Structure formats: structure tokens, C-alpha cells
């Protein structure tokens, strides 16, 4: 017994003399990586000619009509993303040069205008399509979707911008051609998880709710907006050009507020429609971004005109219903400033206000504005 106690005491003494650092401890569990979600407050910019961008504008003249976008009144920008809208996909494929287009790109979309925003830390994208150019999307994809993707990537390289796919074909869209477009673009500008490469930013416009662009919706959710193998950076969920009516906004006949009816469409977007015929798998919230509506139609585009920005629900709670809520985002259309100038701070406050009342907005949510002129 005495020998055993001596041995135990000796072992304890030896262990006490060993430096603490010499005994290897189990490696600490790796800390979970903090993921910062993309936060966007931006504008589709339609210039001063109803989204044509057909004429070159000087930086001085452009700034006189759009300064509120880059300075909310305290030196900080009002937005962190501007999407110049729109590039005609068929003209881009054919590298058309005419009075309004240069090598497939509208003449007004110049490097100087891009630099006007990027020099202030605002990312710029070019939107290809829009509802006006739906037939041209069909023609371009049928002709050569791969070449169109390569030429879009070349434009991104030339200007240092990202590309937005605005293909609004609601009936039998050419998904094979669109896949070829995306694959060709990604072969040149691979997906960049960090977001540090502006040319790698590739997004798509879909519809809030599942009664519009169903096939594009389903394809994007299943193959391009996956969390395990992402292809596109995010999707813009477009809403209707006017407030929904009580008869069309909800699948049920219950009386409800306009805001609640609008929210129901967002719930369709993130979860599933009750009708299996048009069912779309739920989308990961990290890939969704909201798009604003407009309240006045336009000869060029439904989303163009006097705008009432409404912030909706890009990241709703699981199992949301007609009353779901979440962090809100808004991307109003921009063209140039109103004829009656207002302080930039007031413009910013108006653009950020989430209005659900039936009254019209007091100023245009775009930057380039109200009538045929500025």
C-alpha cells in the first residue's frame, strides 16, 4: 500500500512540473462563420426617355437631375445599386449600331454614367429585356442563347457592371435558351460568393406570387437559386403595376386590407401555391429581393411611371400567412428629378416611406421624371 501511494505521489509531482502548454489540448471547435446578408436599396433607372437610353448625356446634366441618388442630403448615397434599364437582347446579340444603339448597347449607357455611380460606391447593373423586349428575348434565345450570354459578359467586362435578366415571357419561355445564356455568362464570369467582382453579379427578375412567370419561377428556384450550388446571385420579385383588387389578390374570398392582399402574393413567392398545377418550391430567403410597384401605366413598360415605393417582405418567417412580415427592401424606378425641385433629404424620405394608403405619391419614385421631359 505504501509503495502504491509513493507511486501516485511521484506521478503527481511529475505532472506538476510539466509546463501547461506542453500538454496538447483538444483543438477548439471552429467558430461558425458569420454570414452577412446582402442588403439592397436601389433603383431601376429609365433615363429621361422612357427606358430607351437612346441619347448621350453629359455628367453635369445627368447630375443636375439625379444628384439625390448619390447624396441624400448629408453626403451619403440614397442607394447602393442602380440598374440601367433596358438593353434590347436582340440588338445586343446582333451588335446593332444605329442612332440610338452602339454595338448593341444603348448610346446613353456610357462609361461616364457608370462611373458617376461607381465612384461613389454604388454598384451598377445593366438590365437586359423588360416587358417591351419580350419578343426580342425569344428571338435572341432561339437564334443563339450561348452567343447572347457571351456578349452580355463582354458588356459586363467593358463597363464593369453586373447583368440583370429581365425575361418576362409568361407563356412557354425558352428555358433551354436561357440556360445556355446563363451557362455562357458564367463560363466567363463565374459565381462570386464574396460579391467583390461586380461583373459576376448576375440576377433574374421573377414575379411575386405564382400567377405570372410560373415556368421561369420554377426553373430559377430549382436550378439557379440553390443554396448548395448557387448560379445566380439573387432574384428580384416583381409586383403588379397597380394595387391588387379584392377579387384577384387573394385565393380566398375573405375581405381583407390592400396591404394584406399584397402580402399574400409575397407568401406565395416564398412558399407554395395551393394549386399543385403551378406549384413552385419554396425559395431560400437569402436569394430573394423585392421590387417596387408603380401606380401609373407607361407606353414603354408597366413598371414605369409615377411610382409609389412600397417596402415588402424579402425574408418572411417560415410558414408565413397573409400577415407575415420581415425586413423590408425597396427598389423604386428612377429617371430624373421632378420639375419642381425638392430637397434631396425630402426626396429620400419619400422614397423610403412604406405607403399602403390609396392616395397617390407626392413625387415620382423614379429619378427621371413625370412627363416627356424632365
**What confidence score (pLDDT) does residue 86 get?**
98
Sheet with 288-290, side-by-side order of all strands:
288-290, 235-238, 202-207, 162-166, 123-129, 81-87, 42-45, 333-334
Q: Is pLDDT above 90 for 260?
A: no
| pLDDT single digits (tens) 86-96 | 999 999 999 99
Which of the four pLDDT bands, split at 50, 70 and 90, describes residue 108?
very high
**What confidence score (pLDDT) does residue 255 get?**
39
Q: Is pLDDT above 70 for 281?
A: no
**What confidence score (pLDDT) does residue 38 get?**
72
Q: Is pLDDT above 70 for 368?
A: no
| pLDDT single digits (tens) 3-24 | 444 444 444 444 444 454 444 4
Give me the mean pLDDT over the 27-40 stretch: 60
What are the C-alpha distances in Å from 368 to residues 54, 78, 215?
A: 14, 15, 33
Which of the four pLDDT bands, split at 50, 70 and 90, describes residue 212?
confident
128: β partners: 87, 165
Higher confidence at residue 322 or residue 86? 86
Q: Is pLDDT above 80 for 237?
A: yes
- The verdict on domain 37-244+257-352 having CATH code 3.30.450 is no
Q: Is pLDDT above 80 for 327?
A: no
Domain ranges of the chain: 37-244+257-352
345: β partners: none
Higher confidence at residue 345 or residue 100? 100
The span from the CA of 117 to the CA of 62, in Å, is: 11
**What confidence score (pLDDT) does residue 239 get?**
76
**Portion of the chain with pLDDT greater than 70, in percent:** 54
| pLDDT single digits (tens) 265-274 | 545 444 444 4
pTM here is: 0.66
| Mean pLDDT for all residues in the chain | 72
Which of the four pLDDT bands, split at 50, 70 and 90, describes residue 261?
low
- C-alpha dihedral over 312, 317, 323, 329, to 10 degrees? -10
**What confidence score (pLDDT) does residue 282 get?**
54
Q: Burial letters for 271-283: b for 16+ Cβ neighbours within 10 Å, e otherwise?
A: bebeeeeeebeeb
**What confidence score (pLDDT) does residue 8 get?**
42
Give me the mean pLDDT over the 42-62 stretch: 96
| pLDDT single digits (tens) 334-360 | 555 433 333 333 333 333 333 333 333
**What confidence score (pLDDT) does residue 114 get?**
99
Which of the four pLDDT bands, split at 50, 70 and 90, describes residue 205?
very high
**What confidence score (pLDDT) does residue 159 get?**
99
Q: How many residues does the chain have?
A: 374
| pLDDT single digits (tens) 132-148 | 999 999 999 999 999 99
Amino acid at each position: 500500500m505504501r509503495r502504491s501511494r509513493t507511486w501516485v505521489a511521484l506521478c503527481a509531482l511529475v505532472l506538476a512540473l510539466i509546463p501547461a502548454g506542453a500538454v496538447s489540448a483538444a483543438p477548439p471547435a471552429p467558430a461558425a462563420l458569420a454570414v452577412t446578408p446582402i442588403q439592397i436599396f436601389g433603383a431601376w433607372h429609365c433615363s429621361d426617355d422612357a427606358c430607351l437610353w437612346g441619347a448621350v448625356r453629359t455628367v453635369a446634366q445627368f447630375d443636375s437631375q439625379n444628384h439625390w441618388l448619390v447624396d441624400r442630403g448629408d453626403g451619403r448615397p440614397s442607394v447602393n445599386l442602380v440598374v440601367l434599364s433596358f438593353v434590347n437582347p436582340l440588338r445586343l446579340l446582333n451588335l446593332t449600331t444605329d442612332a440610338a444603339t452602339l454595338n448593341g448597347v444603348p448610346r446613353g449607357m456610357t462609361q461616364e454614367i457608370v462611373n458617376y455611380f461607381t465612384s461613389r460606391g454604388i454598384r451598377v447593373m445593366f438590365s437586359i429585356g423588360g416587358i417591351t423586349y419580350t419578343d426580342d428575348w425569344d428571338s435572341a434565345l432561339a437564334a443563339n442563347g450561348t452567343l447572347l450570354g457571351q456578349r452580355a459578359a463582354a458588356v459586363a467586362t467593358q463597363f464593369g457592371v453586373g447583368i440583370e435578366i429581365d425575361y418576362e415571357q409568361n407563356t412557354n419561355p425558352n428555358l433551354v435558351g436561357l440556360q445556355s445564356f446563363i451557362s455562357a455568362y458564367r463560363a466567363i464570369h463565374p459565381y462570386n460568393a464574396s460579391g467583390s467582382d461586380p461583373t459576376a453579379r448576375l440576377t433574374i427578375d421573377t414575379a411575386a406570387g405564382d400567377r405570372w412567370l410560373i415556368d421561369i419561377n420554377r426553373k430559377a428556384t430549382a436550378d439557379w437559386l440553390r443554396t448548395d450550388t448557387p448560379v445566380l446571385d439573387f432574384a428580384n420579385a416583381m409586383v403588379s403595376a397597380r394595387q391588387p383588387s379584392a377579387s384577384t389578390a387573394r385565393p380566398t374570398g375573405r375581405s381583407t386590407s390592400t396591404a394584406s392582399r399584397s402580402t399574400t402574393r409575397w407568401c406565395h413567392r416564398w412558399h407554395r401555391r395551393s394549386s399543385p398545377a403551378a406549384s413552385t418550391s419554396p425559395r431560400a430567403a437569402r436569394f430573394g429581393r423585392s421590387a417596387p410597384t408603380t401606380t401609373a401605366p407607361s407606353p414603354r413598360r408597366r413598371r414605369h411611371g409615377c411610382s409609389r415605393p412600397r417596402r415588402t417582405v424579402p425574408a418572411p418567417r417560415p410558414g408565413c400567412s397573409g400577415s407575415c412580415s420581415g425586413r423590408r427592401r425597396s427598389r423604386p424606378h428612377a429617371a430624373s428629378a421632378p420639375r419642381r425641385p425638392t430637397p434631396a433629404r425630402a426626396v429620400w424620405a419619400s422614397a423610403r416611406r412604406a405607403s399602403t394608403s390609396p392616395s397617390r405619391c407626392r413625387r415620382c419614385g423614379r429619378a427621371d421624371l413625370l412627363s416627356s421631359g424632365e
